[in-house]
Amino acid sequence: MQIMHELEKSLMNREHPEFRVGNTVKVHLRIVEGSKERIQVFQGVVIAIKKKMNRTTFTVRKVASGGYGVERVIPLFSPSIEKIEVLSAGRVRRSKLYFLRNRIGKSAKLREVRRAQ
């Protein structure tokens, strides 16, 4: 068990900005299609973070152009993540924001936290 713990700890060497549930983030993902490679940006609200050493995942939800919601579960220490940008911080009181799935329009918005600059 100790060997597994040390191995997982060594795989957690990626540097990412600090973000929390409720933050709006832009995740730049490296997509491979055949022999070509491109960067795809997925922007949305972080609705959940599941922490498990190097298997930590976070769920990002966005509303697509048709008005329907799209969620993506992204491993935090994945080599396909190019970078993560935190755009704004939302004021939330829960650790999982699954209630946003049932909300539409203005009620699906989160209050923004004002940061000192």
Total residues belonging to the chain: 117
Q: What is the pLDDT of residue 117?
A: 59
Q: Is 22 a residue whose pLDDT tops 70?
A: yes
pLDDT tens-place string over residues 55-102: 899 999 998 888 788 999 999 988 899 999 999 999 999 999 999 988
Q: If pLDDT is split at 50, 70 and 90, which confidence band does 12 have?
A: confident
Cα–Cα distance list, 91 to 46, 110, 111, 113 (Å): 12, 7, 5, 6
Question: With bands split at pLDDT 50, 70 and 90, how would you rate the model's confidence at 9?
Answer: confident
Per-residue model confidence as pLDDT tens digits over 32-61:
999 999 999 999 999 999 998 788 999 999
**How far, in Å, are 51, 79, 98 from residue 4 at the CA level?**
16, 20, 32
